[in-house]
Amino acid sequence: MAQFPNKTGPNSGVWTLEDVYNARISDNWPETLPGNIGLYAGGNDPSLANEINSITISTTGNATDFGDLTSSRSSIQGVGSRTRSVFSAGFNPANNNVLDYVTFASAGNAIDFGDMLTNYEGFGSGSGVNDNTRGIWGGGYTPTNTNTIQYITIATTGNSIDFGDLLAANTGANGACSPTRGVLAGGNPGSGAGTNVMQYITTQSTGNAIDFGDLSGARRLNGGSSSATRGIFAGGYTSPTGSLNVIDYITISSTGNAQDFGDLTTPTSNSSTTSNTIRAVIGGGNVPAGIKTDKIEFVTIDTLGNGTDFGDLTYGTQGHASASSGDGGKTI
């Protein structure tokens, strides 16, 4: 049993294991504990940014300052365990291979983690895929698109390791994950329209990606997040239409085409999405006329519906990373 003497209401007193489980699945978990923290990091605002913002996913409100990346950069992606987030290389303004990390429970500046397999100009924005031990990135721009998939063990520091290959060279795909599987959707294989391809890997194995199905339309720079069973892909960009407001969803354990979930409040591309398995929270991005926005909105993952206002980031940005301590890749 555990006790949280400083909490009131449903989070106070002595907890049984059943209490902990019920609080976790009903989103009454204490807000300061891992599982409910979302981070947004870096990007372009319009100069390269090193800011890291933090939100409490189960509430609404504006983001607060968490600390800084080790370097200002855009076109980056994040992965995380329940205790730590790791941010990938990106554009700063030349190729680099830096990995850095923060600990969710303690605000502060990022620390060097290791190096990626090669120098990258970027991965697009948003998140790779992860379970509670491994973080995985697919593709990237080097300055040509690559099909490489690479992984790290999040609890240790060190360089990334080759995992396998994507179906084709790509950059800007975003991830959704269950505790066993990661799905990468969309991206830019070399066409301004982007791609509708979704592909998946088994997180604790190594090997090449396998076809999953198709998004509702071709796009790049869409935001991805998930519960343990459902993946959400929000917004994105396609040429000549521009930024999109579409939200698609998939069932991660099966394969097949994405289905309509609802709409964002504003067409948005190059945003970044994080979750606590109950809510997906979409922050920042490019809205029509190329404006970099600080808006944050959310959806409830296991229902259908349109986005709802959440609050604001501390800065308007696009091309930034996201991670959370409680997305669909982590078990309860």
Q: Residue 236 and residue 253: Cα distance in Å, rounded?
A: 24
Is residue 327 classed exposed, middle or buried when 0-12, 13-18 and 19+ CB atoms within 10 A define those classes?
buried
Tokens of 25: 């699945």
pLDDT of residue 10: 41
pLDDT of residue 121: 85
Q: What is the greatest pairwise CA distance in the chain?
A: 57
Helices (H) and strands (E) in the chain, counts: 1, 31
Which residues make Cβ contacts (< 8 Å) with residue 320, sequence separation at least 6?
A: 40, 41, 42, 43, 44, 49, 74, 76, 125, 272, 283, 284
pLDDT of residue 27: 46
pLDDT of residue 1: 34
Q: Is residue 205 helix, strand or coil?
A: coil
pLDDT of residue 32: 44
- The DSSP annotation for 135-183 comes to EEEE--BSSSBEEEEEEEETTS----EEEEEEEEEE-S-EEEE-SSEEE
Q: Verify cis geometry, omega within 30 degrees of 0, for the bond prior to 30.
A: no
Q: Is the distance from CB of 176 to CB of 328 less than 8 angstroms? A: yes
Is residue 240 classed exposed, middle or buried when 0-12, 13-18 and 19+ CB atoms within 10 A define those classes?
exposed
The structure tokens 């830019």 sit at 188
β-sheet bridge partners, residue 242: 238
Structural domains of the chain in order of their starting residue, each with its CATH number:
2-28+36-324 (2.120.10.80)
β-sheet bridge partners, residue 151: 136, 161
Instruction: Write the pLDDT tens digit of every residue in 281-312.
Output: 999 999 987 799 999 999 999 999 999 999 99
pLDDT of residue 123: 86
pLDDT of residue 245: 97
Question: Considering the entire predicted model, what is its pTM?
Answer: 0.89
Do strands 37-41 and 321-324 pair parallel, antiparallel, or not at all (unpaired)? antiparallel
Q: Digits of tens for pLDDT over the chain (332 positions)? A: 333 433 333 444 556 666 555 555 444 444 444 579 999 999 998 899 999 999 999 999 999 999 999 999 999 999 999 999 999 999 988 778 999 999 999 999 999 999 999 998 888 888 999 999 999 999 999 889 999 999 999 999 999 999 999 999 999 899 999 999 999 999 999 877 899 999 999 999 999 999 999 999 999 989 999 999 999 999 999 999 999 999 999 999 999 999 999 999 999 999 999 999 999 999 999 998 779 999 999 999 999 999 999 999 999 999 999 999 999 999 75
Element (DSSP H or E) covering residue 52: strand 51-56
